[in-house]
């Protein structure tokens, strides 16, 4: 498959790297446009693909066009590309908060896929949630599934409203995990553990816990009960968390992120 990237950034580069590493395309099949000369030089040196500063030019070089630009540049890029897409070209957007209808109208095109990836995609361990217009063919959906699957787990949703929900959960989710890790490390240091030991303990505990959920097939709530002995240390710690509204705080955070995601598309 021939893929043209408009813009890049970390997520666009993650997709580019995954596609090449999984053998879905060769460097000769990939083209990228970017306004930054230093960025273009980096991409050429790292991946050996075709680069240009021209969006209309790169558009002619791909069956699939990936929009990986910043949201603030969207209006300008859509005006530049409006009416320029071939009727059978597939557009994949990883632009945060941009609705499918906005892209259809702005590009005068109806083969649109909207994706919400997350940062672990950079190491092939991401989650990408995506929706597509009805006009996207079965073959094209298969291509999307392959591309996103190269970055980790891919989840198709039939209704676009779930993309905003995914933004609040899996899209922003790594930041919640990083904050929790920071807090655990700082608490461990507070009670006397050396920082390097605390960081290793926290990292391995989180990795192991995630894999345990995945491999055991048990619900997190069941596993939590299994490791919580009545009157024990874990029970005391969980009591303190719940007394201070831990679960409610998580709920309010997700609601706030969801509302923000919805407002970005208005």
The CATH number assigned to the domain holding 66 equals 3.40.50.720
Tens digits of residue pLDDT in 205-253:
999 999 999 999 999 999 999 999 999 999 999 999 999 999 999 999 9
Domain end residue (candidates: 159, 193, 227): 159
Does residue 191 lie within any of the structural domains?
yes
Does residue 24 lie within any of the structural domains?
yes
d(CA 218, CA 85): 47
**Joined tokens for residue 12:** 């666009």
Domain end residue (candidates: 135, 159, 183): 159
Sorting pLDDT into bands at 50, 70 and 90, what band is 9? confident
Contact yes or no for 34/13 (Cβ under 8 A): no
Q: Which residues contact 118 (CB under 8 A, 6 or more apart)?
A: 126, 127, 128, 170, 171, 173, 174
Higher-scoring residue by pLDDT: 158, 264? 158
- 107 and 238 in a single domain? The answer is no
Pairing of strands 126-132, 112-116: antiparallel
pLDDT number for residue 166: 96
Residue 214 structural domain: 173-264
Domain end residue (candidates: 128, 159, 190): 159
Question: Could you tell me the CATH number of the domain that includes residue 181?
Answer: 1.10.3730.10
- 143 and 180 in a single domain? The answer is no
Count of domains forming the chain: 2
- 126 and 188 in a single domain? The answer is no
In the sheet that 126-132 helps form, which strands lie side by side, from edge to edge? 50-52, 30-33, 3-7, 64-68, 90-93, 112-116, 126-132, 152-156
d(CA 73, CA 70): 6
pLDDT number for residue 97: 86
- 151 and 102 in a single domain? The answer is yes
- 47 and 148 in a single domain? The answer is yes
pLDDT number for residue 265: 75
Neighbours of 44 (CB within 10 A): 14
- 84 and 14 in a single domain? The answer is yes
- 52 and 155 in a single domain? The answer is yes
Does residue 167 lie within any of the structural domains?
no
pLDDT number for residue 264: 84
Phi first, then psi: give them for residue 104, nearest 5 degrees.
-60, -45
Tens digits of residue pLDDT in 48-68:
999 999 999 999 999 999 999
**Joined tokens for residue 244:** 């201070």
Question: Closest by alpha carbon to 67, among 102, 36, 103, 38?
Answer: 103
Query: How much is the mean pLDDT over the chain?
Result: 94
DSSP code of residue 26: -
Question: Closest by alpha carbon to 140, among 127, 156, 125, 163?
Answer: 156
- 101 and 18 in a single domain? The answer is yes
Does residue 196 lie within any of the structural domains?
yes
Q: Which residues contact 172 (CB under 8 A, 6 or more apart)?
A: 257
pLDDT number for residue 183: 97
Tens digits of residue pLDDT in 192-204:
999 999 999 999 9
pLDDT number for residue 10: 84
Tens digits of residue pLDDT in 103-122:
999 999 999 999 999 999 99
Contact yes or no for 40/34 (Cβ under 8 A): yes
pLDDT number for residue 8: 75
Does residue 197 lie within any of the structural domains?
yes
Instruction: Tell whether the model's pLDDT for residue 140 goes beyond 90.
Output: yes
For residue 33, the cross-strand partners are 6, 52
pLDDT number for residue 222: 97
d(CA 52, CA 90): 20
pTM equals 0.90
Q: Which residues contact 1 (CB under 8 A, 6 or more apart)?
A: 24, 25, 29, 63, 64, 143
Task: Tell me the average pLDDT across 249-261.
Answer: 96
Share of the chain above pLDDT 90, in %: 91
Sorting pLDDT into bands at 50, 70 and 90, what band is 96? confident
- 40 and 141 in a single domain? The answer is yes
- 154 and 188 in a single domain? The answer is no
């Amino acid at each position: 498959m021939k893929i043209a990237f408009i813009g890049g950034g970390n997520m666009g580069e993650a997709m580019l790297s995954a596609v090449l590493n999984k053998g879905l395309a060769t460097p000769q099949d990939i083209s990228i446009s970017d306004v930054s000369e230093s960025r273009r030089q980096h991409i050429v040196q790292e991946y050996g693909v075709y680069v240009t500063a021209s969006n209309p030019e790169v558009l002619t070089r791909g069956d699939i066009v990936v929009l990986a630009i910043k949201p603030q540049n969207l209006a300008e890029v859509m005006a530049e590309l409006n009416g320029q897409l071939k009727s059978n070209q597939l557009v994949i957007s990883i632009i945060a908060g941009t609705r499918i209808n906005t892209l259809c109208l702005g590009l005068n095109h109806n083969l649109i896929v909207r994706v919400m990836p997350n940062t672990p995609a950079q190491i092939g361990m991401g989650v990408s949630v995506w929706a597509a217009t009805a006009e996207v063919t079965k073959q094209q959906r298969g291509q999307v599934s392959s591309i996103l699957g190269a970055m980790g787990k891919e989840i198709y949703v039939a209704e676009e409203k779930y993309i905003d929900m995914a933004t609040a959960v899996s899209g922003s989710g790594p930041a919640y995990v990083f904050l929790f890790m920071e807090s655990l490390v700082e608490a461990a240091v507070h009670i006397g553990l050396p920082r390097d030991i605390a960081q290793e303990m926290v990292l391995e505990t989180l990795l192991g816990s995630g894999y345990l959920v995945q491999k055991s097939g048990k619900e997190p709530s069941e596993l939590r009960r299994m490791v919580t002995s009545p009157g024990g240390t874990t029970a005391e710690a969980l009591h303190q968390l719940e007394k201070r509204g831990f679960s409610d705080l998580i709920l309010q955070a997700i609601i706030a992120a969801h509302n923000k995601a919805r407002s970005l598309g208005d």
